[in-house]
Chain A
Amino acid sequence: MQSFTYERAASAEQAAAAVAAQPDAKFISGGTNLLDLMKLEIERPAHLVDISRLPLDRIEETAAGGLRVGAQVRNSDLAADPRVRSRYPMLTQALLAGASGQIRNKASTSGNLLQRTRCPYFYDRNMPCNKREQGSGCAALQGFNRTHAVLGASEACIAVHPSDMAVAMAGLDARIETISPGGETRTIPIGDLHRLPEATPHVETVLGHGEMIAAVTLPPPPPGRQVYRKVRDRASYAFALVSVAAIVEKSGDRIRSARIAMGGVAARPWRATEAERTLAGAVASDGAFTDAAEAALAGAVGHGGNDFKIPLAKRTMRHTLAAAVESA
């Protein structure tokens, strides 16, 4: 870890300006990912702006009937909020499926969205990694890639985004509110926050330098049952091999609408719009779920070690949809 300077931000605007003022400055909140990366010198910020104590730790009702989640709301608090538990149960399920109790107590909402991949080659500075060192190559492509992406990857990078929370938020059409150094704000649909790797895997989001997430807004809960299903190698404290967030609205025997997002398969939470289209209006049946799963993974490409994720994602989606319908 290299030495750095530190300041505690007094306001959101000042935080954004403080980071914008230095090219090597970063925001820090819970630090559950950034500190690890700094110890390994994968992140080497010269200056840290601590935003953890900004008054962005509230969960408020919106006029539209949704919730506005402050960027500094801790994962544990978000998961435990009675409004979240009753209206967005999928989000609580996803949060509680992630990390450990200790990490959830520390990790912030915005930090969870912006956490970096767990690709083991990214974490070893002696290994080629285009995300860590542009142009050095991708060691995972021909290497140990059991946990890597099957959708939206590129020759430059096959890393996945590790968040569970973000997958549920993608299924819920969350919107990200940001504040920029000049004080201007904008709102980004969660599906647009993370970039696919293409040739520039080191650029992970659409946020500008110094642009800070202030809140995540959840629209009113959509009709239908919400289910989050995470598949992992052990019962706790493991990243998703695949996960599926599904909301299925039924009308009689038929599915009126479905919202589906997948985790563990791509560099961002992956909204399965083809599967949603397949299901809309279909009779709720094993066949329809299977077709939807096939549609969701139609463009999937394995890289050897992660080939199993394609059938696994299909099977997981099929039974998650069935579970959402069953309990609807």
Chain B
Amino acid sequence: MTETKTSGNRSRETRIGVIGRPIDRIDGPLKVRGDATYAYETTLEGTAFGYILGAAVAKGRIAEIDTGEAERAPAVLLVMTHRNAPAQPDFGPAVTPTVPEVFTRARPALNSERVRYYDEPVALVVAETFEAARAAAGLIKVRYDEEPGLYDLPAHVADAYAPKRTNAGFETDSVIGDFESAFAAAPVKVDATYRTPFEHHNPMEPHATLAAWSGNELTIHTSAQTLANFRAGVASTLRIPPERVRIVSPFIGGGFGSKLIAHADTILAALAAQVLQRPVKIALTRQQMFANAGHRAEMIQQVRLSTDTDGRLTGIAHDVWSATSSFEEYCEQTAVFARSLYAAPNRVTRHRLIPLDINRGEWMRSPGEAPGMLAFECAMDELAERLGLDPIELRIRNEPVQDPERGVPFSTRNLVACMEEGARRFGWERRNPTPGRAREGRKLIGYGMAAAIRPNYIGAATARVAIDRDGRVTARLDMTDIGTGSYTILTQIAAESLGLPISSIKVELGDSRFPRTAGSGGSWGAASAGSALHNACNALKQRILEAAASSEASPLRGAGATDASFADGEVRLGQRSTSLADLIRRIAPDGFEAEGSVAAGAATQSYKAYSQHSYGAHFAEVAVDCDTGEIRMRRMLAVMGAGRILNAKTARSQIIGGMTWGIGAALMEQTVLDPRYGHFVNHDLAEYHVPTNGDVPEMEVVFLEEHDDKANPLGAKGLGELGVCGAGAAVANAIYNATGVRVREFPITLDKLLPALPVIAI
């Protein structure tokens, strides 16, 4: 069984208030009792059920579609195809003019006889029951004019093109100095090419929507990470004003980036509900999610590193060739982290795309760093061995004093401290630097490490907070809790700011009628929504104080002081204090309300003046069976420097979740695209492997004490995705240390290890 430990912030808990404390999830009891209502569980009178039929070919056109038998099937209300679906805008160009439009563009469904990817919706059946809809979908006959498509990334690398930007709007290329000359002249170098496969998010809750119209107002209960995106995307597709779309998503069973935009379940439920004038509910099946809910694209990465004889990097080059979709571009920012990680005078990062006839890749947990660090941090391990240097020492020797490409200082950067603390805790000195030497019985034992870096994003967000006459506080914002603990940390932020107990705070999320935030994604949720709420609470306190000082009914009237505090349910002004609830009752029987906001990070002076990232160090120990090549984890450790920790428990859960993703990426996650048919072959959870409990070892997470006052008013930084970054590379490096076999094609399955594993005498 997995044994886990947390250490870190105990000293801080006593020093500060409720922020940081490892309190249990506010929504935990609801979820355990089954009282948290997810999208598909929402019930509305008269709901009809939809089932999507996907295309049987990956490219071509629908020559003939016979829906007669399905329409005549029992309890069927509607069979929608491109022939009768309500008009929608064309899909439009593969690249939107601006980055935000990626999230807001129309995403029409069933609007063309063209088939752009395997399992693209070609029909929707709506019936009185789910079972009737699914059975009728099986009666639809479709004949396709199939066309040859491109599905093989390695075969088409020569056709790669340079996109205009990467995801999140980064420059496609970066060039500093003269890498090629430096590399040619260097005494020590590594030139290694790695491959990472297609991967799928597979959140536990599938993509699901219940759509209902009331007059010309549309309400969508769905599973969404960012409500504003869904609202805009639905409005664009249905060609209605966004104000007429309400998105409700109070509980989300995981997203991992696959729920940042509306997918076919949402669009088709809205259209069918419009046609039928009844609520319509649609969920993607697990199998349908593989084609219709995003993926991480297959990539080839070449990493070239050169150093002087002391191990100081003279050149860094990270080249990425990634699959993309032929009809909508997505360029994961795979090499962007390498622009900030290590010092070197000569540097190149480049992203190139190869269009395939598949659906578009989407944001998948730690876009960029997850695949990029898997390759890059293995190359660093290869370089350390070539130099005869400890991998940590190599990284320390290349620690930059400022952001190596932007030339600005770091806000906070504790990478070296993370590595040193990790080495001490992990017993790194016990690692045998010569690979393949440590054996226990018939197990080969190895240690590996890798660095972690993840940019700190902040998105524009507003929060509204109200206090009633009984001193109860309600905070509302359209933030989401995708299982990360948003409800909990926001409760803590409001409680600490207002000096009230947790039980006095109610946080309401997941409704687009609440003030807009950037939602959950990119690890920006806590810092963005949290800062907005922090500012809203400050504004509320200001209002209370102003009224307290001036209201005739106020016991604090005329206190004549400017130093005020809110603590333990009391308001103190100068020498006088009173119960907050009592004060509100006296001076504002209707309570007070206030709003607070933060601007998007990219627009702030602080963001321009400082390189803002979270950092960490991952350590892994693996055992490899010398007979079968089976790789099993023994233990993992992550030491993180990620600004102020808002809740030590939910933060730790985020990191161990990320580390588990690292295990998956290193050892098992891979979706196979059949180059003959263009379909993802292993499209279910039996054949697409994610780690089981048995695969997850003892995990230790340590947070270094940190407060980043450049990042935001809270001093917190993005955390959610940091656990993935580099975790898989630490595992891969441990496998190399155990076996002496370097597998550069992920995942590292036993068949790739076996040919190089010697037969050891029995």
A contact set with B: CB distance below 8 Å: 1-3, 39-41, 118, 120-121, 123-124, 126-127, 139, 142-144, 146, 231-239, 241, 286, 289, 308, 311-312, 315-316, 318-319, 322
A residues in contact with B287, CB < 8 Å: 40
A residues in contact with B761, CB < 8 Å: 286
Q: In the bound complex, do residue B689 and residue A126 qualify as a contact, i.e. CB atoms below 8 Å apart?
A: no
Q: In the bound complex, do residue B442 and residue A319 qualify as a contact, i.e. CB atoms below 8 Å apart?
A: yes
Measured CB to CB, the closest approach of chain A to B611, in angstroms, equals: 38
Q: In the bound complex, do residue A234 and residue B134 qualify as a contact, i.e. CB atoms below 8 Å apart?
A: no
Q: A1-B131, A311-B754 given as contacts; is B628 within 8 A of A235 (CB)?
A: no
Measured CB to CB, the closest approach of chain B to A140, in angstroms, equals: 9
Q: In the bound complex, do residue B689 and residue A238 qualify as a contact, i.e. CB atoms below 8 Å apart?
A: yes
Q: A143-B681, A233-B668 given as contacts; is B751 within 8 A of A308 (CB)?
A: yes
The residue in A3, A41, A120, A232 that gathers the most chain B C-beta atoms within 10 A of its C-beta is A120
Question: By DSSP majority rule, is chain A's interface helix, strand, loop, or mixed?
Answer: loop
Q: Give the contact stretch, choosing among B263-271, B579-587, B670-678.
A: B670-678
Measured CB to CB, the closest approach of chain B to A316, in angstroms, equals: 6
Q: A144-B682, A315-B627 given as contacts; is B750 within 8 A of A233 (CB)?
A: yes
Q: A143-B681, A312-B629, A312-B754 given as contacts; is B134 within 8 A of A236 (CB)?
A: no
Q: In the bound complex, do residue B684 and residue A146 qualify as a contact, i.e. CB atoms below 8 Å apart?
A: no
Interface size class of B (residues with CB under 8 A): 35 or more
Measured CB to CB, the closest approach of chain B to A325, in angstroms, equals: 9
Q: B135 on the interface (CB 8 Å rule)?
A: yes
Q: Name the contact of B691 in the complex, choosing from A234, A241, A308 (C-beta under 8 A).
A: A234
Taken together as a complex, chains A and B put the C-alpha atoms of A2 and B668 apart, in Å, by: 35
Q: In the bound complex, do residue A146 and residue B751 qualify as a contact, i.e. CB atoms below 8 Å apart?
A: yes
Which residue from chain B places its CB closest to the CB of A232 in the assembled complex?
Answer: B630
Q: In the bound complex, do residue B681 and residue A120 qualify as a contact, i.e. CB atoms below 8 Å apart?
A: yes
B residues in contact with A238, CB < 8 Å: 689
B residues in contact with A289, CB < 8 Å: 762
Measured CB to CB, the closest approach of chain A to B52, in angstroms, equals: 14
User: Closest 6 CB pairs between A and B?
Assistant: A235-B694, A308-B751, A236-B694, A126-B56, A319-B627, A236-B692
Q: Mark B738-762, 1 if CB is under 8 A from A, else 0.
A: 0000000000011100110001011
Q: In the bound complex, do residue B692 and residue A235 qualify as a contact, i.e. CB atoms below 8 Å apart?
A: yes
Which residue from chain A places its CB closest to the CB of B131 in the assembled complex?
Answer: A1
Q: In the bound complex, do residue B135 and residue A312 qualify as a contact, i.e. CB atoms below 8 Å apart?
A: no
Taken together as a complex, chains A and B put the C-alpha atoms of A237 and B696 apart, in Å, by: 13
Q: In the bound complex, do residue A241 and residue B750 qualify as a contact, i.e. CB atoms below 8 Å apart?
A: yes
B contact set with A: CB distance below 8 Å: 56-57, 118, 131, 134-135, 138, 287, 442, 627-630, 632, 667-668, 672, 674, 676-677, 679, 681-684, 686-687, 689, 691-695, 749-751, 754-755, 759, 761-762
Measured CB to CB, the closest approach of chain B to A97, in angstroms, equals: 11
Q: A1-B135, A143-B674 given as contacts; is B684 within 8 A of A123 (CB)?
A: yes
B residues in contact with A41, CB < 8 Å: 138
Q: A233-B750, A234-B695, A235-B694 given as contacts; is B134 within 8 A of A120 (CB)?
A: no
Q: In the bound complex, do residue A231 and residue B679 qualify as a contact, i.e. CB atoms below 8 Å apart?
A: no
What are 29 contact pairs spanning A and B, CB under 8 A?
Answer: A1-B134, A3-B135, A39-B134, A40-B287, A123-B684, A124-B679, A126-B57, A126-B677, A139-B676, A139-B677, A143-B674, A144-B672, A146-B751, A231-B628, A231-B750, A233-B749, A234-B667, A234-B668, A234-B691, A236-B693, A286-B762, A308-B754, A308-B755, A312-B750, A315-B627, A315-B628, A315-B754, A316-B627, A318-B762
Q: A120-B687, A311-B754 given as contacts; is B679 within 8 A of A126 (CB)?
A: yes
Taken together as a complex, chains A and B put the C-alpha atoms of A126 and B681 apart, in Å, by: 11
